[in-house]
Amino acid sequence: MDRQPLLSVRDLEIRFRMRHGDLTAVNRVSFDLARGDRLGIVGESGAGKSVTGFGILNLVSKPGYIAGGRLLFEGRELTALPEEDLRQIRGNRISMIFQDPMMTLNPVLTIGTQMVETILAHRAISRAEATAIALDRIRKVAIPSPQKRLQQYPHEFSGGMRQRIVIAIALLNSPALIIADEPTTALDVTIQADILELLLGLCQSEKMGLILITHDLAVVSQVAERIAVMYAGTIVEIGPTAQVAGNPQHPYTRGLLGALPQRVPRGGRLNQIPGMMPTLTRVPEGCPFSNRCTLCEEVCRRRVPPLEPKAAGCLAACHLLD
Amino acid sequence: MNTDTLVSIRDLHKHFDISGGWLDQLRFTGGRFARRKTLVQAVNGVSFDIMEGETVSVVGESGCGKSTLARTVMRLYPPQAGEVHYRGRRIDHLSREQFKPYRTRMQMIFQDPYASLNPRMRVRQILEEPIRFHRPKTSGSEVLDRVAEIMQQVGVDPEWRERYPHEFSGGQRQRISIARALAVDPEFIVADEPIAALDVSIQAQILNLMMDLQEKRRLTYLFISHDLSVVAHISNRVAVMYLGTLCELAAIDALFDRPRHPYTQALLSAIPRLGAKGFQHQRLTGDVPTPIDLPSGCVFHGRCPHANDRCAREVPTLRPQGQETLVACHGVAEGRLPD
Amino acid sequence: MQGWRGFRKSYFVYSFLRDPMAMGSFLCLAILVMVSFGAPLIAPHDPYDSSTIDIMDSEMPPLWLDQSDARFLLGTDSQGRDMLSTMLYGMRVSILIGLGAVALQAFMGIFVGLVAGYRGGRFDAFLMRLADVQLSFSTYMVAIFFGALFQAAFGMGRYEQLAVPLLVIIIGFAEWPQYARTVRASVLAEKKKEYVEAARVIGLSPGRIMWRHILPNTLTPVLVISTVQVANAIMSEAALSFIGLGMPVTRPSLGSLIKAGFDYIFSGSWWITLFPGVALVVLILSINLLGDWLRDFLNPKLYKA
């Protein structure tokens, strides 16, 4: 095993060009992902988690752009690569899974055609070989009667089955990393559990890295080895799952956990974080969480807290922790 | 009938005709034309009572008919069959005019805070409308006071009453939606997935608000949700629905401590649990059948690990199991399900 | 005052100011509308006042050609009327008919679309088939039929008096299904939304829900098609006038001016038909360009695809 991480994100900054100047959607985000490692990015809507996911693929759509930072993937700097090379990496070395399977699937082509085309776009092999690979992947995602299913169109599948096919397509070229953006949010709980289990199993058996982006802390805690909590464009806490989910350090993470009904006795009052996440135009100076934090002190309003090692292998961005 | 039964739902059926116009219904079969309707059987014979002051939740996955049930109770849809009683009086067959007094007693909160407020109306107009409609004699200043008072109660600054909905965040809009429901002083509120579209920290705010209001105003809730951990937190009793039928109706502790129906068991096991490593949920085989072609017998038999011939033939009825549980399952009734 | 300041800062004004095409066409349209409605004040002559018209002045060329007269900037027509003044008055007639016809279309179409969309069922099916039947007759066919019928029944004299309201009604009737379909489509989308259910839960009557809740939310597409429809109505009127079924020559619109001049085009008096023609094209073009911009602005999804 090489010591170099699969993906190394350093001070990633993504901005959106707006009418009244630029908005910073992702602010100096840094993390590493080792080969076969699973990282969960959690946050509420507007925290910048999806933009981060797109940023890794250098796929931020206009008016957004990567304003700074480095993205080292398998030793290559993604921000400096020409579009042609990036396209070879996307769908080949890094695959992406979205919340809505129809973002990946073309409604007028059969599943088989789509899968074969995807393989042929990246590899010089025969159609028969490509079909064999497609069949193998369909089997891997546990879809019954794969031969028949390849002939069908996306609308003939249920929501859960479609998401399985999207996973199968993501697996086609044996990528080293899968970025899954809310892959189960649109699904029912029973199907969600099936899909997550499948994704987890595949990552383990194929030695794939996974970045799971979701709003659901419980979901991440079941799949990821490490969790990064995002708030208003910054990572406020990152650490091993047991630590972040069991003994969070940052006041925001604590507040978020306290708001989960699971953690409170039935019928009791839920912990509520006052206010709401600031819109990107109104992120407070200093610590972005300072205006909602019950522990806020003078220093929090003045200086941005750095993401520093705190207790038990956790990194947190808070002045008040040692 | 129990004296403190507030709402009672009896054998309610709701079908939707999706076959389109008259021409679309024509089918050529067996050498001649015949008109055939395609029906979505969204709710099939659901019965239960809601006691005054309690919260009954209806849970189930998408397409199980829980929202349709809520809307049929609220008379947004006319039922095909069955009855709805309110304080012992049958209300499902009343005319719009006769039903009007009940509109002040039963109100509804909706799922999507972005669609449930008219984007062209100011918050003040949204909140004034129900008051002026049901109490036309109220003077202008009284209406304004009332609006300010409700806004205060749900935690929205009354100073903002001249703003439009798009100027508010999702959580605040949901508060305004709750305020609109409360404007006519109802005693029964149907909440259709009121927090599903909100972020976790905002969900907690709205749930707390709903529980506070229940305490202050002695409200009765029919709470529709797909999220079992939320349901566990807020309800007294839970009704589990699958494909338009009731599988299990139980007091909250009984349901979570000892789920009886195989579907309830699968559902409970699939809740994502904070800090659990990996997955131990019960896998269900196959997909949910469509409500157009309902399976024979028990609607769950095709996916049930314990199904036998009887389940495929005979529709199970709700039978009491223990103190606080009603289950519709042959396996449970026969005692052949493992505990 | 605050409303005005808010409007000036709004995204509407911002994107308008950033689009030179929209600005240009708006400016063009504004000038045309102003001069045509200000015609009695700014036109050098009054084409409706026969005492000022001298047949000796007929077919004078525009000012920059030989044999022109300093009184007539753009020359005169075959009856000796000042072209510029006649065009300004004519454009006023054209715009009035266009606006009137669209107002009638919109009124009928919105009413039918709203009721059909909200009530649904057989009622909806009936009204929409009616709209289909109406649409399958071309506007011109309807207009020619009724125009000719009216002329035959009441005679030319009466027709000339009633030409404007008659054209408004004919063109208005011919195109109401456009509005009905557009409004019905957005009513169908709106009525599924939860705010409509909330209004029903309050107990409001269907009429009030349609009028107070649904209608204001369906007006955006109505605004967009209105621009196109005004341009279409002006074109229809011009076309009808051109074939002699529109405005009479005594109270000419742009269309009847073009027609009147067309007879003289081969005798060398090209200006009688060209100037009104150019005015018509500029008018229609600026309305359409403005309509395009409005559609793009109100439906930003078009860009994202």
Instruction: Kindly report, residue by residue over A144-156, the tens digit of the pLDDT.
Output: 888 899 999 999 9
Strand B55-59, strand B220-225: pairing: parallel
- State residue C2's pLDDT score: 56
Mean pLDDT for C172-200 is 92
Kindly state whether B72 is in contact with chain C, defined as any CB-CB distance less than 8 angstroms.
no
Q: Please say whether the beta carbons of B272 and A219 come within 8 A.
A: yes
- State residue B53's pLDDT score: 93
- State residue A1's pLDDT score: 45
Quickly count: other Cβ atoms within 10 Å of residue C66's Cβ. Answer: 5
- State residue C254's pLDDT score: 87
If you search the block for the tokens 């050098």, which residue do you land on?
C44
- State residue C303's pLDDT score: 43
Strand A177-181, strand A94-97: pairing: parallel
Q: Cα distance from A267 to chain B (closest Cα, Å)?
A: 5
Interface mutation target, options C191, C197, C201, chain B, most CBs of B under 10 Å:
C201
- State residue C276's pLDDT score: 86
Query: Are B279 and A218 inside 8 Å of each other by CB?
Result: no
- State residue B173's pLDDT score: 94
Lowest mean pLDDT among A5-14, C42-51, C190-199: C42-51
Q: What is the mean pLDDT of chain A?
A: 90
B273 contact residues in A (CB cutoff 8 A): 218, 221-222, 262
DSSP assignment of A90-143, as one string? Answer: BTTTEEEE-SSGGGTS-TTS-HHHHHHHHHHHH----HHHHHHHHHHHHHHTT-
CB-nearest partner of A190 from B61, B200, B204: B61
Interface mutation target, options C127, C190, C202, chain B, most CBs of B under 10 Å:
C202
- State residue C302's pLDDT score: 46
CB-nearest partner of B110 from C194, C204, C205: C194
B121 contact residues in C (CB cutoff 8 A): 213
Query: Are C202 and B129 inside 8 Å of each other by CB?
Result: yes
Q: Cα distance from C178 to chain B (closest Cα, Å)?
A: 22
Q: Please say whether the beta carbons of B339 and B265 come within 8 A.
A: no
- State residue C79's pLDDT score: 77
The confidence band for A265, taking pLDDT boundaries of 50, 70 and 90, is confident
The confidence band for A3, taking pLDDT boundaries of 50, 70 and 90, is low
The two structure tokens encoding residue B199: 């972020």
The two structure tokens encoding residue B311: 């389940």
Kindly state whether B115 is in contact with chain C, defined as any CB-CB distance less than 8 angstroms.
yes
Highest mean pLDDT among A14-23, B176-185, B193-202, B276-285: B176-185
Find all residues with CB under 8 Å of C46, minimum gap 6, and list them: C40, C52, C85
Lowest mean pLDDT among A230-239, B187-196, C232-241, C260-269: C260-269
Kindly state whether B68 is in contact with chain C, defined as any CB-CB distance less than 8 angstroms.
no
Q: What is the mean pLDDT of chain C?
A: 84
CATH number for the domain formed by residue range(s) C94-299: 1.10.3720.10
- State residue A97's pLDDT score: 93
The confidence band for B50, taking pLDDT boundaries of 50, 70 and 90, is very high
Tell me what percent of the residues of chain C surpass a pLDDT of 70.
Answer: 95
Mean pLDDT for A106-112 is 93
Identify which has the larger pLDDT, C77 or A199.
Answer: A199
Contacts from A137-141 at CB under 8 Å and sequence distance 24+? A137/A168, A137/A169, A137/A171, A137/A172, A138/A111, A138/A165, A138/A168, A140/A168, A140/A171, A140/A202, A141/A165, A141/A167, A141/A168, A141/A171, A141/A198, A141/A202
Mean pLDDT for B236-262 is 94
Kindly state whether B280 is in contact with chain A, defined as any CB-CB distance less than 8 angstroms.
no
Lowest mean pLDDT among B40-49, B70-79, B226-235, C50-59: C50-59
Tally C-beta pairs within 8 A across A and B: 122
Q: Considering only CA atoms, which of B64, B41, B339, B304 is closest in space to residue A189? A: B64
- All structural domains of chain B: 5-105+186-334 (3.40.50.300)
DSSP assignment of C100-152, as one string? Answer: HHHHHHHHHHHHHHHHHHHH-HHHHHHHHHHHHHHHHS-HHHHHHHHHHHHHH
**What are the two backbone dihedrals, phi and then psi, of residue B241, each rounded to the nearest 5 degrees?**
-115, 145
- State residue C101's pLDDT score: 93
Interface mutation target, options C128, C193, C194, C209, chain B, most CBs of B under 10 Å:
C194
Mean pLDDT for B256-271 is 92
Does residue B330 have a pLDDT over 70? Answer: yes
The confidence band for C304, taking pLDDT boundaries of 50, 70 and 90, is very low
Tally C-beta pairs within 8 A across B and C: 56
- State residue C305's pLDDT score: 30
Highest mean pLDDT among C65-74, C207-216, C264-273: C207-216
DSSP B87: T
Interface mutation target, options B96, B118, B176, chain C, most CBs of C under 10 Å:
B118
DSSP assignment of chain C, as one string? Answer: -HHHHHHHHSHHHHHHHT-HHHHHHHHHHHHHHHHHHTHHHH-SS-TT-GGG--GGGTTPPPTTSTT--TT-TT-B-TTS-BHHHHHHHHHHHHHHHHHHHHHHHHHHHHHHHHHHHHH-HHHHHHHHHHHHHHHHS-HHHHHHHHHHHHHHHHHHHHHHHHHHHHHHHHHHHHHHHHHHHHHHHHHHHHHTSHHHHHHHHHT--HHHIIIIIIGGGGHHHHHHHHHHHHHHHHHHHHHHHHTTSSS-TTS--HHHHHHHHHTTGGGT-THHHHHHHHHHHHHHHHHHHHHHHHHHHH-THHHH-
Does residue A270 have a pLDDT over 70? Answer: yes
Quickly count: other Cβ atoms within 10 Å of residue A240's Cβ. Answer: 15
Mean pLDDT for C269-280 is 85
- Rg of chain C taking only CA atoms, in angstroms: 23
Kindly state whether B100 is in contact with chain C, defined as any CB-CB distance less than 8 angstroms.
yes
DSSP A80: G
Does residue B1 have a pLDDT over 70? Answer: no
The confidence band for C198, taking pLDDT boundaries of 50, 70 and 90, is very high
CB-nearest partner of B267 from A189, A269, A276: A189
Among residues 217-276 of chain B, which lie with CB inside 8 Å of chain C?
Answer: none
- The residues of A whose Cβ lies within 8 A of any Cβ of B are 44-45, 158, 160-161, 188-190, 192-194, 196-197, 200, 215-219, 221-222, 241-242, 245-246, 255-264, 266-273, 276-277
| Extents of the domains making up chain A | 225-322
Q: What is the mean pLDDT of chain B?
A: 90
CB-nearest partner of B76 from C201, C205, C217: C201
B96 contact residues in C (CB cutoff 8 A): 203, 205
Does residue A203 have a pLDDT over 90? Answer: yes
Question: CA separation (Å) from A135 to A103, A112, A232, C4, C95?
Answer: 22, 8, 42, 64, 66
Q: Cα distance from B236 to chain C (closest Cα, Å)?
A: 25
Kindly state whether B273 is in contact with chain A, defined as any CB-CB distance less than 8 angstroms.
yes
**What are the two backbone dihedrals, phi and then psi, of residue A233, each rounded to the nearest 5 degrees?**
90, -5
Q: Cα distance from B317 to chain C (closest Cα, Å)?
A: 32
Subunits close to A (at least 3 CB pairs below 8 A): B
Query: Are A259 and B200 inside 8 Å of each other by CB?
Result: yes
pLDDT in tens, A249-264: 999 999 999 888 888 8
Distance CA A260, CA B200 (A): 7
Alpha-carbon dihedral B169, B172, B177, B180, rounded to 10 degrees: -130
Q: What is the pTM (predicted TM-score) of this model?
A: 0.87
